Structure 1
Amino acid sequence: MLGWMIFVYQAPPDQVARNSPDPEPFLLAHWEAGLGGLAWLDDLVKLGKATQLRFDGYPARYTAQTADVLPQITSGKIRPANSGLWVFGIDEGEEYVQPPAWLKVVQTSHDRIAACPPDALLTIEAWDQS
């Protein structure tokens, strides 16, 4: 496992799955993260603020309300901890190294986020990047 590709949608899980592979109209944010990239979601589940519906990586799927998820994204709390495993590998002849706190730039739809009600149900999908 190399990490996660994470997508946050303003839609219930059945609507996201039904519109796959193009749930783009519902997309609020997406990014790539290292191995610890789901720690923030696991914390929300432990607090009872998110529900884990599926966890096989193809994708892992969660639901939570806007008020519990979007502040995590906008404040940077989605960044993995700077402790844990480094990932080393070779992909198509290219060597790479990912530190524990690796997080690729978060892409957001500012207009959609601004229009999202705080009690809206969000679906978060996390795809295993193996």
Structure 2
Amino acid sequence: MLGWWIVIYPETGTIPEHTLASWESGLGGLDWLRPLLDSGHASQLQGNGYPNRYRLAAHAVLPLLQAGAPGKGPLSSYHPERVAACQPEQWLIVEAWDQS
């Protein structure tokens, strides 16, 4: 499959114990990050696909998660109790692993 495996977790957390959500997406699966990067609500920490890593403001991404998987693809895992425990001022990490 060409695309991405995406995992979101708190900046102070680890995978899988603190994962908020994860999903697979196609090639355009990271397009939802562009507006967050452009607005300053996200920054790219690492890029090369192994993984691409982003830091996002929780207040900007949590509403997207609550509506389903941002981008393309259904959520593979979602932990509403962990999402509800996040504070709006908290930072989250998005890891996007290249699946090609």
Fold in common (TM above 0.5): yes
Aligned match of 1:32: 24
Aligned match of 1:122: 92
Q: Is the contact made by 1:9 and 1:27 (CA closer than 8 Å) also made in structure 2?
A: yes
Deviations 1:70-111 (A, max 9, x none): 11122247134xxxxxxxxxxxxxxxxxxxxxx133421111
Shift of 1:7: 0.3
Aligned partner of 1:120: which letter?
Answer: Q
Find the aligned partners of 1:6 and 1:113 in 2 and give their Cα distance: 16
TM-score (norm 2): 0.89
In structure 1, list runs of 5 or more residues that go unmatched. 17-22, 81-102
* Runs ≥4 residues deviating over 2 A: none
Aligned partner of 1:64: which letter?
Answer: L
Aligned partner of 1:49: which letter?
Answer: H
In structure 2, list runs of 5 or more residues that go unmatched. none
Identity across the alignment (%): 43
Find the aligned partners of 1:125 and 1:106 in 2 and give their Cα distance: 15
Aligned partner of 1:5: which letter?
Answer: W
Find the aligned partners of 2:19 and 2:68 in 1 and give their Cα distance: 18
Deviations 1:101-123 (A, max 9, x none): xx133421111111111111101
Pairing 1:76-95 to 2, within 5 Å after superposition = 76=68, 78-80=70-72
Pairing 1:41-80 to 2, within 5 Å after superposition = 41-76=33-68, 78-80=70-72
Aligned partner of 1:10: which letter?
Answer: P
Q: CA RMSD in A?
A: 1.8
Aligned partner of 1:79: which letter?
Answer: G
Q: Does 1:2 align with 2:25?
A: no
Shift of 1:44: 0.7
SS at match of 2:17: helix
Aligned match of 2:74: 104
Q: Is the contact made by 1:40 and 1:77 (CA closer than 8 Å) also made in structure 2?
A: no
Q: How many residues align?
A: 100
